[in-house]
Amino acid sequence: MRSFLNIILLLTIQFVIAQNPSMEVLDTNFSKGSLNYKQTITLNDVVKFHGHLCDGLVVGFLGAKEALYKLYPDGLVDRTNTRIISKSSPCLTDVAIYLTGGRYQFNTFFVSYSINYIYIIQRISDGKAFGVNLKPGIKPTEIDRLGNLANDKKLYACELDELRKLEEAFSKKMLDGNPKDDFIIEEIFNFSWKPQLQNNFPKIDTINKNSLPCH
């Protein structure tokens, strides 16, 4: 039975990877160059940067893309004119950095618990900003319940497998759906960029790295 479930899980992962949403970005064409280099960034690119595919990565990619296209309605995101604030999730922060090119040392990225969104994304040139959130009820509450237990190392290996299956199913649902139906993209008027420096956020995606396999 468990072998059958593992096959279903593998097929779900392969489906999610095959979906591979993308976005177009604009960058400078070399280290001292002009702004004319267009390229495509995909979800699979971010997976390689992050280390694995997960529901947080899917949510972050789709939500950030929706907000970025509000700022750049022609569909070409100017990464030299964009900055982002992220909640502390390793998945969300890796998406934020990869999609926007934001970095703390250049005053284009920081992490904050205090924002009321998963992201706040701002166009630097005119200050226009949008907040990103999942709509209530989109994410199954069981994922957060089990995820919180996993963060406290209170799940056994087979329970971690169950959590993974829930996350993979949720990822598939998000990729199958229309992001416009799943996210609230809210303009934030007169938003003031006030960077914060904090480096003691928990890296929750490695907490259970020494967990034994489920038998």
Question: In the chain, what are the domains?
Answer: 2-205 (3.30.1330.130)
Name residue 185's beta-bridge partners. Answer: 132
Determine phi and psi for 193, rounding to 5 degrees.
Answer: -80, 115
Block residue for tokens 């139906």: 181
pLDDT of 14 strictly over 90 = no
207-213 average pLDDT score: 93
Query: Among the listed ranges 11-15, 30-34, 123-127, 170-174, which one has the minimum average pLDDT value?
Result: 11-15
pLDDT 10s digits, 45-97: 999 999 999 999 999 999 999 999 999 999 999 999 999 999 999 999 999 99
Pairing of strands 109-111, 22-28: unpaired
- Taking the CB of residue 22, how many other CB atoms lie within 10 A of it? 13
Mean pLDDT (the chain, rounded): 93
Please state, in angstroms and rounded to a whole number, the distance separating the CA atoms of residues 108 and 91: 18
* Contact predicate 54/171, CB 8 Å: yes
Secondary structure class of 126 (helix, strand, coil): coil
What are the structure tokens assigned to 153, written together?
A: 């190392």
- pTM: predicted TM-score of the whole model, two decimal places: 0.91
Pairing of strands 82-86, 22-28: unpaired
Please state, in angstroms and rounded to a whole number, the distance separating the CA atoms of residues 80 and 83: 9
Give the model's confidence band at 215: pLDDT under 50 very low, under 70 low, under 90 confident, else very high. Answer: confident
Amino acid at position 93, single letter: T
pLDDT of 172 strictly over 80 = yes
pLDDT of 17 strictly over 80 = no
3-20 average pLDDT score: 56
pLDDT at position 19 is 75
pLDDT of 9 strictly over 70 = no
pLDDT at position 39 is 97
What are the structure tokens assigned to 191, written together?
A: 């938003």
The conformation of residue 214, written as its DSSP 8-state character, comes to P
pLDDT 10s digits, 95-132: 999 999 999 999 999 999 999 999 999 999 999 999 99
* Contact predicate 119/67, CB 8 Å: yes
Please state, in angstroms and rounded to a whole number, the distance separating the CA atoms of residues 14 and 22: 17
Give the model's confidence band at 18: pLDDT under 50 very low, under 70 low, under 90 confident, else very high. Answer: low
pLDDT of 7 strictly over 70 = no
